């Protein structure tokens, strides 16, 4: 039997540390809990929100409805062969705990995604990525339930329609599913992806390149750029890195020869949103307690008493200034509620 809690303060459930309340709150610790919650929702129709680790969300008001908090934390070895292992991982597993588990077992594939905040259930929704690797590279399938029909589903990697920070769960199936677990296919054979920025150089400074040294390097890089949410509220990267046409890129490069870039195709180039924001003069600047981090312009922070609307106001001003200077419209990566 599920337990619902009324008028829950969501401050500890979002890494921005924003004060907001939910009318009702249900934690799902098992598949049976999810089924019971869907039945409850069917009998008590109301707005709902699936909330994982709260590391990619900005509350701008109280949530007038029910928060569903999946907390299935099993990690199961489904099968293995000479080359690969297949793990089924509960949606409530902390993402970085999964990466640590894989590194400890000498399973390759997720190490570049070390120290990303949030839970496993959000990884296919956002197709999280960092340092040349995306979650889709290792996801075999995603399991869950359709909210309206309460039927279970298993979607293959192809069916998830992964793209840059995108998936079917952010398009056709947005707000229509609860993810219960994700199946990952990992490599037993030594394999690294280090050709992103100066990652290779920093890893090699440890001496021998190992899973552990790669994980430590990525963790060190992220810690040097990102404040701890417990110390300074944030949701990591607030904006997506924009992908622009080659003509616009060449035009900007003519004025800013050192602009960093990552070719996507012959016609498209990805440029760092953090660089655009810094060039627009926002790095380290603040509007009240809503601020741009002084070490990484891609990160917006709550200096203590900012509201969600304060953060949003700052984001809108940054978007406006970047567009005026570069003719590029950057988009939030964070879900705004």
The string of pLDDT tens digits covering residues 114-149 is 999 899 999 999 999 988 899 999 999 999 999 999
Predicted local distance difference test score (pLDDT) of residue 202: 78
Residue 51 pLDDT more than 70? yes
Q: Pick the catalytic residue: 24, 111, 134, 333?
A: 333
Strands 21-28 and 63-70, sheet pairing: parallel
Question: Do 283 and 268 form a contact (C-beta atoms < 8 A)?
Answer: no
Q: Pick the catalytic residue: 114, 123, 181, 237?
A: 237
Question: Do 180 and 151 form a contact (C-beta atoms < 8 A)?
Answer: no
CATH number of this structure's domain 4-70? 3.30.43.10
Percentage of the chain with pLDDT > 90?
Answer: 82
Cβ neighbours of residue 218 closer than 8 Å, sequence gap 6 or more: 111, 112, 113, 114, 115, 130, 131, 199
d(CA 137, CA 113): 11
d(CA 307, CA 298): 19
In this structure, CATH architecture of domain 227-336: Alpha-Beta Complex (3.90)
Q: Pick the catalytic residue: 11, 19, 30, 165?
A: 165
d(CA 193, CA 304): 38
Residue 165 annotated among the catalytic residues of the structure: yes
Instruction: Enumerate the H helices of the chain as residue ranges.
Output: 31-43, 95-104, 123-126, 199-204, 211-225, 246-255, 273-279, 308-326
Predicted local distance difference test score (pLDDT) of residue 193: 86
Residue 218 pLDDT more than 70? yes
Residue 275 pLDDT more than 90? yes
3, 6, 8, 13: CA torsion to nearest 10: 30
Q: Map out the domains of the chain as residue ranges.
A: 4-70, 75-223, 227-336
Residue 196 pLDDT more than 80? no
Residue 244 pLDDT more than 70? yes
Task: Say if pTM beats, i.e. exceeds, 0.75.
Answer: yes
Condensed to tens digits (0 to 9), the pLDDT of residues 7-33 reads 999 999 999 999 999 999 999 999 999
Residue 190 annotated among the catalytic residues of the structure: no
Q: What does residue 26 show for φ and ψ, rounded to 5 degrees?
A: -125, 130
CATH number of this structure's domain 75-223? 3.30.465.10
Q: How confident is the model at residue 204 (pLDDT cuts 50, 70, 90)?
A: confident
Residue 11 annotated among the catalytic residues of the structure: no
Question: Do 108 and 127 form a contact (C-beta atoms < 8 A)?
Answer: no
d(CA 142, CA 122): 11
Predicted local distance difference test score (pLDDT) of residue 164: 86
């Amino acid at each position: 039997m599920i337990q619902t809690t009324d008028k829950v303060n969501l401050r500890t459930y979002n890494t921005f540390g924003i004060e907001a309340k939910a009318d009702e709150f249900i934690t799902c610790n098992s598949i049976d809990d999810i089924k019971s919650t869907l039945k409850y929702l069917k009998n008590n129709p109301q707005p709902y929100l699936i909330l994982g680790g709260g590391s990619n969300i900005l509350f701008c008001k109280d949530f007038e409805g029910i928060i569903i908090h999946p907390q299935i934390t099993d990690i199961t070895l489904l099968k293995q062969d000479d080359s690969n292992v297949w793990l089924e991982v509960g949606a409530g597993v902390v993402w970085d705990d999964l990466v640590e588990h894989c590194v400890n077992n000498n399973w390759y594939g997720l190490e570049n995604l070390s120290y990303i905040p949030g839970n496993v259930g959000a990884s296919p929704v956002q197709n999280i990525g960092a340092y040349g690797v995306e979650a889709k590279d290792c996801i075999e399938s995603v399991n869950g339930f359709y909210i309206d029909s309460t039927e279970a589903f298993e979607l293959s990697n192809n069916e998830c329609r992964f793209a840059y920070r995108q998936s079917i769960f952010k398009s056709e199936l947005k707000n229509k599913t609860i993810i219960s677990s994700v199946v990952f296919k990992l490599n037993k054979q030594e394999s690294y992806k280090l050709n992103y920025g100066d990652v290779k150089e920093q890893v090699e400074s440890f001496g021998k390149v190992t899973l552990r040294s790669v994980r430590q390097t990525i963790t060190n890089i992220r810690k040097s750029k990102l404040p701890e949410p417990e110390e300074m509220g944030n949701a990591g990267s607030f904006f997506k890195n924009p992908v622009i046409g080659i003509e616009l890129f060449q035009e900007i490069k003519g004025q800013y020869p050192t602009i960093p870039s990552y070719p996507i195709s012959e016609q498209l180039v990805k440029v760092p949103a953090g660089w655009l924001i810094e060039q627009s003069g926002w790095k380290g600047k603040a509007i009240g307690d809503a601020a741009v981090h002084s070490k990484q312009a891609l990160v917006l922070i709550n200096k203590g008493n900012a509201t969600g609307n304060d953060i949003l106001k700052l984001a809108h001003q940054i978007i406006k200034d970047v567009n005026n200077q570069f003719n590029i419209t950057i988009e939030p990566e964070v879900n705004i509620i």
